[in-house]
Amino acid sequence: VEPTIYGASERAPRGDYARAGQVRPDYTCPQNYAAYTAQDHDTYRRLYERQAALIPGLACDEFIAALPALGAKERIPRFEDINARLYKATRWEIVAVPGLIPEVPFFTLLANRKFPVTDWLRTPEEFDYIVEPDVFHDLFGHVPLLFNPVYADHIQDYGRGALKAHRLGACEQLSRLYWYTIEFGLMRQTNGLRAGSGTHGNLRAYGAGILSSSGELQHAVRSEIPNRIALSPERTMRTRYKIDSYQQTYFVIDSFQQLFDLTAPDFTPLYERVKAQPELAADARLPEDVIVAV
**137 assigned to active site:** yes
* Among residues 171, 267, 274, 292, the one that binds ligand PHE under rule CB under 6 A: 267
Query: Which residues touch 182 (CB under 8 Å, ≥6 apart)?
Result: 142, 155, 158, 207, 208
| Distance between CA atoms of residues 7 and 133, nearest Å | 10
Whether 134 contacts 36, CB under 8 Å? no
**Shortest approach of ligand PHE to residue 177 CB, angstroms?**
6
**Shortest approach of Fe ion to residue 273 CB, angstroms?**
27
Binding to ligand PHE, residues 15-74 (CB under 6 A):
none
Which C-beta is closer to Fe ion: that of 6 or that of 271? 6
| Distance between CA atoms of residues 39 and 41, nearest Å | 5
Which position among 132, 137, 154, 216 bears the catalytic label? 137
Which C-beta is closer to ligand PHE: that of 139 or that of 174? 174
Which position among 62, 132, 183, 216 bears the catalytic label? 183
**Shortest approach of ligand PHE to residue 181 CB, angstroms?**
8
- Which stretches within 112-180 are classed as H helix? 135-136, 149-168, 171-178
Phi first, then psi: give them for residue 75, nearest 5 degrees.
-155, 165
Of ligand PHE, Fe ion, none, which one sits near residue 158, judging by CB under 5 to 8 A according to partner kind? ligand PHE
Measured CA angle at 258 (ends 253, 262), to 5 deg: 100
Which C-beta is closer to Fe ion: that of 133 or that of 226? 133
Torsion of CA 199, 213, 11, 244, to 10 degrees: 30
Binding to ligand PHE, residues 136-165 (CB under 6 A):
157-158, 161, 164
Question: CA dist 277 to 13, 174, 227, 272, 287, Å?
Answer: 33, 15, 21, 9, 16
**9 assigned to active site:** no
| Distance between CA atoms of residues 156 and 169, nearest Å | 20
Of Fe ion, ligand PHE, none, which one sits near residue 208, judging by CB under 5 to 8 A according to partner kind? Fe ion
Which position among 62, 142, 154, 213 bears the catalytic label? 142
Question: CA dist 84 to 21, 38, 147, 219, Å?
Answer: 27, 25, 12, 35
Size of the site for Fe ion (CB under 5 A): 2
Helix (H) or strand (E) holding 187: strand 186-188
Q: Which amino acid makes up residue 128?
A: D
**Shortest approach of ligand PHE to residue 227 CB, angstroms?**
22
Binding to ligand PHE, residues 223-252 (CB under 6 A):
none
Which C-beta is closer to Fe ion: that of 15 or that of 133? 133
**288 assigned to active site:** no
**Shortest approach of ligand PHE to residue 232 CB, angstroms?**
13
**Shortest approach of Fe ion to residue 209 CB, angstroms?**
6
**154 assigned to active site:** no
Q: Which amino acid makes up residue 84?
A: A
Binding part of the chain for Fe ion, among 126-134, 152-160, 164-172, 255-263 by CB under 5 A, reads 126-134
Does the footprint of Fe ion cover residue 208 (CB under 5 A)? yes
Does the footprint of ligand PHE cover residue 263 (CB under 6 A)? yes
Torsion of CA 180, 110, 104, 241, to 10 degrees: 10
Question: Which residues form the interface with Fe ion (CB under 5 A)?
Answer: 133, 208
Just list the catalytic residues.
137, 142, 183, 212
Question: Which residues form the interface with ligand PHE (CB under 6 A)?
Answer: 157-158, 161, 164, 263-267
